[in-house]
Amino acid sequence: MSFFFLISVVTIGQNVVTIKGQLLDNESSEPIPFASIYLKNTALGTTSNTEGYFVFHIPVKNKSEMIVISAMGYSSVEKQPSSFLNDERIRLTPQINQLNEVQLSASKNKVLSAKDIVKRAYKNIETNYPTEPYILEGFVRDLQKEDDDYVEYLECAAKFKYQGSQVKREPHIELMGVRSNSIAKKHPWNKNQERKNSLIDLVEDDFIRFDYGPILAKKGWKYEIEHVLNYDNRLVYKITGADTPFQTATLYIDAESFAFVRMELTRQAIKNRSWRRRFTNGALQVFYNVVFEYQEYQGKMYLKYQKEEDHWRIFKGLESGKILFTKYPKKELFINNIITENVAIYPFKRNLDIGASIENQAGDYDANFWSTYNIPQRTSEQSQILKELEKSGK
């Protein structure tokens, strides 16, 4: 199996070169989502969306540097910006790896079980993840749905100032700007409930920092090695896990460093029996899915992408069996830059009020800022959702 990019190159003013394209599977013609497109030896990059489209703004001063394109299961491609031509097709062939050979080479002639690999990855967290302060720059997209209707769409840019991964504390946050903010009429139940800040919702869930989830390999979790994949010129174990009856997980672990490259956890209620108790306000969480994907930079693993998606059934009272509605919040964080040097003097203004929603902290819209800020392109569905919300808000 192989896939190709449809590429076009546009230069904007004197400051950036912009590359636009779509990533498709060459056999199935399906889009390839969440591929990494970045400048080699830097942390500047972007991500393809679920339709495979991407836009990458490159500073003119870097126009001669190599661009790396990588996707899980394929060999990476490296090309200079000037070599991308209109409608160019770049084919990548997956690398097939023998599981036993990878296990032997990675573990000094000892065959590892799936659980052994997870345990070793957990043990190596301090080695593989940053212990010094750093800043992540990125973009958040937040969609809220009630039953079949979307009621909120938010896009914003932010900086996240972290201590090392061993510090069990959420980062300080600078809200850099809000790109889109559309809210429709919501169910009356929401008027009486506190709405959490979208950025805080994301950063308070972190397997590595807060030491929880399927990475612990605790009793009850059972793991299996499903595949060994190629990713960014490395070999990665794909391991599936289950903690019945409510939890399943997929872990991608580097076969050499034993770093967690990608982690996904899903929790699902069964017949309204949840892994969590029903809240006193009548809300019952019946589905939870979180994804963390990391990128290597200067020998350490930093967050690249995070998604949190929930389904909540809202009942009329704590013990009521009457469902008022079901709400579906979904939040995604895309990191486009990492700052590790001179962090103490790097421009950063901690301005986020965690007790207020983002839409109440929006500030003035800065068109120049957004014209060259690296964000994942909206899908056609997202564009339509935003259009409908803007129409209903008039």
pLDDT tens track for 58-69? 999 988 899 988
Per-residue pLDDT tens digits for 252-291: 999 999 999 999 999 988 776 766 656 777 888 889 999 9
Position 127 in a domain: no
Q: What pLDDT is attached to residue 3? A: 45
Is the pTM higher than 0.85? The answer reads yes
For 385, the domain range is 134-392
Does 264 lie in the same domain as 155? yes
Position 107 in a domain: no
Does 161 lie in the same domain as 31? no
% pLDDT > 70, the chain: 85
Position 119 in a domain: no
Virtual torsion, Cα 208, 351, 48, 215, nearest 10 deg: 10
Does 321 lie in the same domain as 196? yes
User: With 70 as the cut, is the pLDDT of residue 10 above it?
Assistant: no
User: With 90 as the cut, is the pLDDT of residue 342 above it?
Assistant: yes
Q: Which own/partner pairs from 345-354 qualify as long-range (CB within 8 Å, at least 24 positions apart)? A: 346/135, 348/135, 348/159, 348/161, 348/172, 348/174, 349/174, 350/161, 350/172, 350/173, 350/174, 351/174, 351/175, 352/158, 352/172, 352/173, 352/174, 352/175, 352/197, 352/199, 353/197, 354/173, 354/197, 354/200
Mean pLDDT of 169-193: 88
Does 377 lie in the same domain as 274? yes
Per-residue pLDDT tens digits for 27-71: 677 777 888 989 998 999 999 899 888 889 999 998 889 998 888
Q: How many domains does the structure of the chain reveal?
A: 2
Q: What pLDDT is attached to residue 104? A: 54
User: With 70 as the cut, is the pLDDT of residue 11 above it?
Assistant: no
Position 112 in a domain: no
In angstroms, the Cα distances linking 40 to 37, 44, 279 are 9, 9, 48
Which ranges of the chain does DSSP label H, i.e. alpha helix? 99-106, 114-123, 125-128, 198-203, 207-210, 367-371, 380-392
Q: What pLDDT is attached to residue 51? A: 86
CATH of residue 17's domain is: 2.60.40
CA end-to-end distance (rounded Å), the chain: 48
User: With 60 as the cut, is the pLDDT of residue 1 above it?
Assistant: no
Give the domain-ending residue among 83, 98, 115. 83
% pLDDT > 90, the chain: 53
Give the domain-ending residue among 83, 114, 149. 83
